Structure 1
Amino acid sequence: MKKQRPVNLDLTTISLPAAGLSSILHRVSGVIMLISIGLLVWALATSLQSAEGFAMVHDLFTSFIAKFIAWGILTALGYHLLAGVRHMCMDMGYFEELNSGRISAQIVFVLAIVLSVLAGVWLW
């Protein structure tokens, strides 16, 4: 009995469809947002403790690195929101075909880039 198993396991040669990439990035953006909650809760708690704490958080968040991290958090939030709406539409029965799923994933990518640029303009 010979089993037919895949021979090529080099992941760099396998191309992932747009819908699959969209789904994986939706999960990654969710993990990024979960991790960022700790930073944001710390900043909120510190800024509400005293005027000195607020000044410290304000000075910290006006640096380039902090703005870049905030931009990353906002980008993850925007993508997660868009991909979540796409997944909810798929749960309702829309965009389930191969072609429409690919097109909706590409639309999510384009809108996420637009939101990312807008977040960068807003922060800087």
Structure 2
Amino acid sequence: MNLNARFSIASYRVTIRPPEPIGYRSRIDPPIPTYQPSAAGFRSCGTKRECESAVNSKRPVNLDLGKFHFPLPAITSILHRISGIIIFVGVAFLLYGLDLSLSGEDGFARVSELLDSFLAKLIIWGILSALLYHLVAGIKHLLMDMGIAEELESGRLAAKITVVVSIVLIILAGVWVW
């Protein structure tokens, strides 16, 4: 099909064009400003390239994430994603143990012996901790999706509640594992 074909329908003329490429600026978009702030006010930096190079030269090259102070809701959201990754990786270990225990009596005895070690208990506790935190933070995110605790102060309170409930559940999981 010819994408630039023109069709006449009564007195109307319809033109079919290919989609615009990503980053295409239409004529109705405002022009990119070519002014830079200075001590005396705004000054023109000349061409668009000069303005872009002036802006880009002031940007930091390597950001030190340790200098950023994230608010508690941001930290809980980041930890929610990290706990999801830990669960994803931990499921591989759990499935291997399940497969080995179901392979026969020798496999079951081997898994039982393996689970008595400190390292295995630590791994199980870590996976359970990630799962419990992910559950609590996921409930918080679902409540926020429903419009509950979307404001700044209620979001901070929800993040604090998420951390406290998660810590309590993680301690209980540690008692249960050991």
TM-score where L is the length of structure 1: 0.94
Structure-2 separation of matches of 1:16 and 1:6:
20
Q: Which has the higher strand share?
A: 2
Does residue 109 (structure 1) correspond to residue 163 (structure 2)? The answer is: yes
RMSD over equivalenced CA pairs, Å: 1.5
Residue 64 (structure 1) aligned to one of 108, 112, 118: 118
Task: Give, as a single letter, the amino acid of the residue that structure 2 aligns with 1:123.
Answer: V
Q: Which has the higher helix share?
A: 1
Greater relative CO, 1 or 2 (CA 8 Å, sep 6+): 1
Structure-2 separation of matches of 1:96 and 1:16:
18
Does residue 35 (structure 1) correspond to residue 89 (structure 2)? The answer is: yes
Matches within 5 A, 1:37-56: 37-56=91-110
After superposition, give the CA deviation of every residue in 1:59-108 in whole Å (9 maximum; x if it has no partner): 00111110011000010000000000000000000111111111101110
SS of residue in 1 equivalent to 2:55: coil
Unaligned runs of 5+ in 1: none
Cα offset, 1:11, TM superposition: 2.0
How many aligned residue pairs are there? 124
Match of residue 26 from structure 1: 80
The answer to which of 4-13 and 107-116 deviates more is 4-13
Q: Which has the larger radius of gyration?
A: 2
Residue identity over aligned pairs, in percent, reads: 49
Unaligned runs of 5+ in 2: 1-50
